[in-house]
Amino acid sequence: MRPGAPIMLLALATGTSAATCTADAFWKAPPTAFGSEVLDIHAEEVKGWNEYATSAPTFPALPVEQKPIDFCNVTVFYTHPGLNDTIRVSVWLPLQEADWNGRFLGQGGGGWAAGGHGALASGVALGYAAADTNAGHSYFGDPPDTILSSKSWSLTSPGNVNIHALQNFAYRALDDMSWIAKHVTKTYYSKDISYSYWNGCSTGGRQGLTLAQRYHWQYQGIISAAPAVNWVTFLVTEYYAHVKMKELKYYPPVCEIQAITKAAIEACDELDGVKDGVISAFRLCGFDAKSVVGQKYECKEGDTRKITKEAAEIANIGWTGPLKKDGTPVWYGLAHEAPLVGQPNFQGLVKTKCDPKEQNCKSDPFMISADWIKQFLLKDPDYDLSNIDEELFHHLLRTSRQQYHSIMDSADPDLTHFKQAGGKVILWHGLADELIFPNGSLNYYERVKEVTPEIDDYFRYFEVPGVTHCLGGDGAFPLTALNSLVDWVENGKAPDHLDGQTIPMFSSKPDAEPAYRPICAYPKVAAYKGGDVTKASSFECADGFGKVTGRHDEL
């Protein structure tokens, strides 16, 4: 599809299914995975379903015509004998065989949720047999603390981690789900699956790379967006701004950090030659928050304040990430355009909670980071995180790496077997991500390249300016990444760019018309050639922005 072309979904044909949508039909040859035992199977026809996900990690591709869909809903409950678990796999199958495109789509989750039903609706609407797993605990839509907290399952008792449940979430349930759901699909249609794809963002992105690393035989194509790889490191470093707040004895109000972020965007917006409220040349942005100390900002109407040196130091830490005493980086920070205090759907990493007058503020860390520290590192759900100082922070970081690297990190760079099996990966990361550090994804890409220098043959990385965690922001979103992946896997057409389109309803300009821009495969960037900045034809993938030459991360 050419950049900027209108995106359309063709109507699916109608016909008859190859099997009946009943539990008995699947019990004749129960779907299973090695080491598992099926406990129960439910199956029912669903007609006129019209509930689609609105949370970012569950979109397999956009846009999708959100019309009522008919499908066979198959739910398989299974256990690993002797391990006292119960795991659910959900498979949604286009009800009529003629509506099935012959492909299978595994769908990831977000946070502590391994999957979410809304994504399956989008997959079915696109013609896929779609499936996900709950990995043994709740989906989206169940008690909300199960998405941002593992409290209901992480500990068998204070001090004792439920390692088996964590392994299910980390990797084992992904392989199980793939075997079980594919078997269900083949049974229903009495046909083999032509191609299997994975799509996910955040936790779903981590799951996709986990599958490429551990189970290279399962999927021919994987989309991994803003992946939560480097889990054992980034989840701890997400907390670091609150360590700095404790040290400085200052907890900035949300409006102060927002004022600093606004100043950073204004300073770096036009480094790419285009003024659009997006920092596309984010590695060229050297903005220092100390430069705006004393600058006035309005917290609320009539409430004018001045930016403090403490807030500037805290914002800088949000951008640099933790530093050792000698200034050596511990891990990465966020880009300057990232909403440090978060957006409506997410907390940010420099978030505080204040009274109605934006005073008397207190630390308000990102819940999953706080949960990881309490449940898995300290193993004490009642621990007061305000006690964490610099020394304890570094101890917790070592503990996280030592105890959980082999289970949760999902950052093994050796994808040799996946490559040899013919698999393809599209990894993309929004540069305005407020939760997961984009340079962590680049770090992974570069390490994979060290193992397989011919990386472009099977793995492409795309940096997406202006897009926040999974979805949102003023940048152009890779709406048709799944289409590009399918074209690569099935037709051998490797994408040198993804078609990007802004989504006004998730931006700061909800009434604007969509704008189009190519999202270029790293290390290329979308350089402005001239003309209408809302049209993709005004940009080209190049080595640098405008008059900037050489690599895009060099002045």
Kindly list the catalytic residues: 202, 433, 469
**342 alpha-carbon distance from chain centroid:** 15
d(CA 474, CA 260): 18
Residues 6+ apart with CB under 8 A from 271: 279, 280, 281, 284, 285, 545
Which sign, positive or negative, has the C-alpha torsion 430, 551, 446, 230?
negative
Q: Are strands 459-464 and 424-430 parallel, antiparallel or unpaired?
A: parallel
8 A C-beta contact, residue 155 and residue 374: no
Q: What ranges in 452-525 are assigned the alpha helix state H?
A: 481-491
8 A C-beta contact, residue 177 and residue 120: no
Going from the C-alpha of 23 to that of each of 29, 152, 249, the distances in angstroms are 11, 30, 61
Residues 6+ apart with CB under 8 A from 228: 202, 203, 205, 206, 234, 410, 436
8 A C-beta contact, residue 52 and residue 68: no
| Other C-beta atoms lying within 10 Å of the C-beta of residue 370 | 22
**520 alpha-carbon distance from chain centroid:** 19
Going from the C-alpha of 146 to that of each of 120, 121, 231, 381, 526, the distances in angstroms are 20, 22, 18, 14, 39
| Other C-beta atoms lying within 10 Å of the C-beta of residue 44 | 12
DSSP 226-279: S---SHHHHHHHTTHHHHHHHHHT----HHHHHHHHHHHHHHHGGGGS--SS--
8 A C-beta contact, residue 236 and residue 397: yes
Q: Which of 142, 147, 140, 119 is nearest to 131 (CA)?
A: 119
8 A C-beta contact, residue 252 and residue 314: yes
Residue owning tokens 């696109």: 126
Residue 163, both tokens? 């390692």
